[in-house]
Amino acid sequence: MTYRNFLSLTDAGADGIAAMLADAIDRKAARKGWPKARLDVDAPLAGRVLAMVFEKNSTRTRVSFDLAIRQLGGVPIILDAGTSQLGRGESVADTARVLSGYCDAIMVRTDDHAKLLEMGHYASVPVINGLTDDSHPCQIMADLQTIVESGKSLPGLKVAWLGDGNNVLASIIEAAGLMQFDVVAACPQGFAPSDAMVAAGQGRAKVVGNAAEAVAGADIVVTDTWISMGQDHAETKLAAMWPFQVNEGLMAQAKPDAKFLHCLPAHRGEEATDAVLDGPQSLIWAEAENRLHAQKAVLRWCFGQIG
Ligand code: CP
Ligand code: NVA
């Protein structure tokens, strides 16, 4: 069986990402208005089993991958760390080898990027990054799809990021380098992305300390929770973040046709106000739905069907 891991956007490269975006957009259009559980006409992953391993909470990733494999003709199996032997200390390497005997692909959401890499090393089936402390490439596939569907083309876009220099920003920066758009991240001191994260943007990313500077002339404005899963709810961090809140005043400083993205879940009234989240520039519901369509393309890419 041909298989490829999707541990990072770089695994797919610009050509792979472009192929996945085209596939996601086409397949979404082809089944518009259909019942959600109806199989795609070609059922290209018929008979395949996707295991999903969750060490952290999830709504979108869990539901979208579950439905994605079903629409493609396959079957999902979910393992929560708390109710599997992983939670009792069985090694990732042994789990990878066991799951490879039952399943055709493994999606992993883990608190430790090293565990994802270990799963990728020991599994003999495709392994997909469903979020780690370092990155969230599946989310960014949905974000790129949402941007393209809004009528914008990726090369040359200015994307403004506000707030925490976290895992989602890391994957946006990686995408910028691959797909030739620019990212300006406004982050408080002490919460900026690392030099290595910025370098992954191949010169397309820069960090500033001022929210207005980031959004000036921006085509896309993006933020995320100030406190990611597994992080302390440090009052000092929250206090530092308030000047980076995305509110109507800040959105007004971006381009008039700028769009707003947020991977969700949102902490309404913190990183973004209700007026922005629910406002006319917000694409957050399309972005969330696109997790399904993007994940289908990721699965097909992993099996060598596209790209
Ligand atoms: N955006 C995202 O990954 O959401 P979940 O944590 O609900 O999966
Ligand atoms: N940065 C967030 C993303 C959640 C989808 C987290 O890691 O909790």
d(CA 30, CA 12): 24
189 Cα–ligand 2 center, Å: 20
Query: Pick from 161, 162, 135: which is nearest to 240 by CA?
Result: 162
Rounded average pLDDT over 183-197: 98
pLDDT digits (tens, 9 = 90+) for 107-117: 999 999 999 99
Using 50, 70 and 90 to split pLDDT, how confident is the model at 195? very high
- The model's pTM: 0.98
pLDDT for position 181: 98
What's the confidence (pLDDT) of residue 233? Answer: 79
- What is the mean predicted confidence (pLDDT) over 139-147? 99
94 CA distance to ligand 1 centroid (A)? 27
Name the residue of 224, 227, 261, 291 whose CB sits within 8 Å of the most ligand 2 atoms, as the mutation to test its pocket: 224
φ, ψ of residue 189 to 5 degrees: the values are -55, 135
Domain 151-282: give its CATH code.
Answer: 3.40.50.1370
Query: According to the model, what pLDDT value does residue 232 have?
Result: 86
Please tell me the number of Cα atoms within 13 Å of 160 on its side-chain side.
27
Say which residues have a Cβ less than 8 Å from residue 86's Cβ, sequence separation at least 6: 53, 55, 79, 92, 95
Q: How far is CA 168 from CA 106, 141, 144, 263, 306, in A?
A: 21, 11, 13, 8, 25
Domain 9-136+291-302: homologous superfamily in CATH: Aspartate/ornithine carbamoyltransferase (3.40.50.1370)
Write down the pLDDT at residue 234. 86
Q: Distance (Å, rounded) from C-alpha 295 to C-alpha 271?
A: 26
3-state secondary structure of 186: strand
First to last CA, the chain: 16
Residue 1 pLDDT exceeds 90: no
CA distance linking residue 70 with residue 50, whole number of Å: 9
Give CATH 3.40.50.1370 domain extents, the chain.
9-136+291-302, 151-282
264 lines ligand 1 (CB under 6 A): yes
In whole angstroms, what is the distance from residue 127 CA to residue 14 CA? 19
Under 8 Å between Cβ of 305 and 299: no
Reduced to 3 states (helix: H, G, I; strand: E, B; else coil), residue 172 is helix
Contact between 65 and 50 (Cβ < 8 Å): yes
Three-state secondary-structure class, residue 285: helix
- Residue of the CA atom closest to atom 3 of ligand 2: 228
Q: Which amino acid is at 2?
A: T
* Ligand 1 pocket, residue 282 CB under 6 Å: no
Q: Are 178 and 17 in contact (CB under 8 A)?
A: yes
